[in-house]
Structure 1
Amino acid sequence: MARHGAARVARRRAGLGGLLAEVATELTSALAVSLGLPESHFDDAFAGCPHWFGKLIRYVGTDTDGPHAQGVGPHADWGFLTLLLQDSTGGLQARPPRSPDWVDVPPLDGALVVNVGEMLEVATHGYLVSTVHRVLPCAPGATRQSIGFFWSPRLDATLHPVPLTAELAAHAPGVTETEHNPLLPRFGDNALKGWFRSHPEVAARHHADLRG
Structure 2
Amino acid sequence: MELCQPSDQVAKLIAGRRTVFQLADEGLPVIRLNRLHGSAEEREAFIAELRVTLHDHGFFYLVDHGVSKALVDEMVAATRKFFALPEEDKMEIAMISSARFRGYNRVGMELTGGQQDWREQVDFDREEEAPEIGPDSPAWMRTMGPNQWPSAMPELRDVVTRYQEEMTRVSLDLLRAIALALGQDEDFFDPMFSSGPRQHMKILRYPGLTQTASSQGVGAHKDGGLITILLQGLPGLRVQRHDGVWIPAPPVAGSFIVNTGELLEMATDGFVRADVHAADVPPEGTQRFSIPFFLGASHDGTVPVIELPEDLKRSARGVSTDPDNPMLREVGANHLKARLRSHPDVAQRHYPDLVRAKQA
TM-score bucket of the superposed structures, by smaller chain: 0.7 to 0.9
Aligned to 2:248: 104
8 Å contact 1:65–1:140 — kept in the other structure?
Answer: no
TM-score by length of 2: 0.52
- State how far apart, in whole Å, the 1-side matches of 2:221 and 2:341 are: 10
Q: Name the stretch that deviates more: 22-31 or 184-193.
A: 184-193
Gaps of at least 5 residues in structure 2 are 1-35, 37-160
SS at match of 1:48: coil
For 2:329, the equivalent position in structure 1 comes to: 185
Partner residue, 1:16? 163
Structure 1 residue ranges without an equivalent (≥5): 2-13
**From 44, 47, 50, the counterpart of 2:191:** 44
2:316 aligns with one of 148, 160, 172: 172
The structure 1 residue matched to 2:284, chosen from 114, 125, 140, is: 140
Q: Is the 8 A contact 2:219 2:279 kept in 1?
A: yes
Q: Which has the larger radius of gyration?
A: 2
* Corresponding position: 1:121 with 2:260: no
- CA offset at residue 90 of structure 1? 0.1
Of 79, 84, 92, the match for 2:225: 79
- Partner Cα distance (1:114, 1:185) in 2: 23
Paired with 1:176 and 1:167, the residues of 2 have a C-alpha distance of 21
Structure 1 segments (4+ residues) deviating >4 Å: none
Cα displacement (A) at 1:63: 2.8
1:18 alignment partner, SS class: helix
Matched, 1:26 2:173: yes
Letter matched to residue 170 of structure 2: V
Offset of 1:178 from its aligned partner? 1.6
Partner of 2:298, secondary structure, is coil
User: Percent identical across equivalent pairs?
Assistant: 37
Greater RCO, CA 8 A, separation 6+: 1
Q: Describe the superposition over 1:184-211 as per-residue Cα deviations: whole angstroms up to 9, x where unpaired.
A: 1121111111112212343245424325
* 1:11-69 deviation line (CA, Å, top 9, x unaligned): xxx62211111100100100000000000000011133111122111100143246x52
CA RMSD of aligned residues (A): 1.8
Structure 2 match to 1:91: 236
| 1:130 to 2:274 alignment | yes
* Residues matched between the structures, number: 197
Once structures 1 and 2 are overlaid, which stretch shifts more, 22-31 or 124-133? 124-133
Do the aligned residues in 1 keep the contact of 2:209 with 2:215 (CA within 8 Å)?
Answer: no
